[in-house]
């Protein structure tokens, strides 16, 4: 029996997933992105097995009937889709729908994995978006791609983004690899702090390119959770415009993540991106409109 085990300090992306499992804060949808297919595949296998495990311990036990079914590659609560030819078609997404009416056969989750979502047809992407907009009980969706920029921002904004960076060794010293304190501090300043406090904190962090990406990914997940709350409030009839401000902020962060792949000054890009987000969240239309 082969059971994957990891040191949570070895891989920042996997550490993020294990923390979600440990804290019982699993998102309804994850987007795994980055050009590190081997480590991404191992992390997905571990995460799926942990979600399906009957122990509820936040890690695969390797001995329950669910783990045994997973290792036989015959788990009734795991559903995977990939391209049919050169695309993922609407009919393939629709084939998942009957399973939405069922409770998990084993354990506490159903897991749906979509490989290469960038190949979704327009109709299939719209169908998936509708599914992600209304989270299903005890159901987790996983999307695996090499580049999140190829996906519609509306889909990306509804997923917790997990980045895998090619060629990075274990023990990265990125700004969020040890803990999320910096991300939480920035998130608070975006909503409650002054612009000068925000920019001073960014200067003190002095993140490298990898650290800036981790920070923006943390903020993306934080804002996505806030957006779901506001969307539910609006669905309940509450008059609120905060959802629009948050959605605009998600777009700003996604653009910042894309620009990090280019030859830009990391410190300047991060400061401008966060300043724009702070302006949107506080309805400050004097925030800078471009980089």
Q: What is the pLDDT along the chain (291 residues), one digit of tens a residue?
A: 233 333 434 467 788 888 888 888 899 999 998 877 888 888 999 999 999 999 888 889 989 999 999 988 889 999 999 999 899 999 999 999 999 988 888 878 999 999 999 999 999 999 999 999 888 888 999 999 988 878 888 898 888 888 876 654 333 333 333 335 577 788 888 988 888 888 888 888 777 888 888 888 888 888 887 877 777 666 666 655 677 888 888 889 988 888 887 878 888 999 999 999 999 888 644 444 444
Give Cα separations from 281 to 72, 153, 162, 193 (angstroms). Answer: 48, 18, 23, 11
pLDDT of residue 67: 93
Its pTM surpasses 0.75: no
Tell me which residue of 254, 208, 247, 253 sits closest to 231, measured CA to CA.
247
Q: Is 237 exposed, middle or buried (0-12, 13-18, 19+ CB in 10 A)?
A: exposed
**Residues 48 and 113 sit within 8 Å (Cβ to Cβ):** yes
Q: Where are the beta strands (DSSP E) in 96-240?
A: 110-115, 139-144, 160-163
CA 46 – CA 164 distance, rounded (Å): 15
């Amino acid at each position: 029996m082969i059971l994957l085990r990891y040191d949570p300090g070895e891989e920042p992306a996997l550490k993020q997933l294990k923390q979600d499992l440990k804290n019982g804060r699993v998102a309804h949808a994850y987007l795994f992105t980055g050009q590190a297919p081997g480590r991404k595949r191992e992390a997905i296998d571990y995460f799926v097995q942990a979600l399906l495990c009957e122990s509820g311990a936040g890690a695969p036990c390797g001995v329950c009937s669910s783990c045994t079914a997973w290792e036989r590659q015959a788990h009734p609560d795991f559903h995977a889709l990939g391209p049919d030819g050169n695309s993922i078609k609407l009919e393939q997404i629709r084939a998942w729908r009957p399973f939405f009416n069922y409770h998990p056969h084993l354990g506490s989750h159903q897991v749906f994995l979509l490989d290469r979502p960038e190949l979704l047809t327009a109709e299939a992407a719209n169908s998936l978006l509708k599914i992600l907009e209304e989270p299903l009980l005890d159901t987790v969706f996983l999307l695996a791609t090499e580049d999140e920029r190829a996906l519609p921002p509306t889909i990306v904004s509804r997923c917790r983004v997990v980045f895998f960076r090619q060629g990075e060794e274990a023990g990265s010293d990125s700004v969020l690899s040890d803990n999320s304190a910096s991300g939480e501090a920035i998130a608070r300043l975006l909503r409650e702090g002054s612009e000068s406090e925000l920019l001073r904190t960014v200067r003190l962090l002095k993140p490298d390119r990898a650290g800036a990406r981790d920070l923006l990914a943390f903020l993306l997940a934080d804002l996505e959770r806030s957006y779901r709350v506001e969307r539910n409030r609006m669905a309940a009839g509450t008059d609120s415009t905060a959802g629009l401000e948050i959605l605009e902020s998600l777009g700003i962060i996604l653009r910042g993540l894309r620009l990090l792949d280019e030859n830009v000054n990391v410190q300047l890009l991060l400061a401008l991106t966060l300043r724009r987000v702070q302006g949107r969240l506080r309805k400050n239309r004097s925030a800078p409109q471009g980089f």
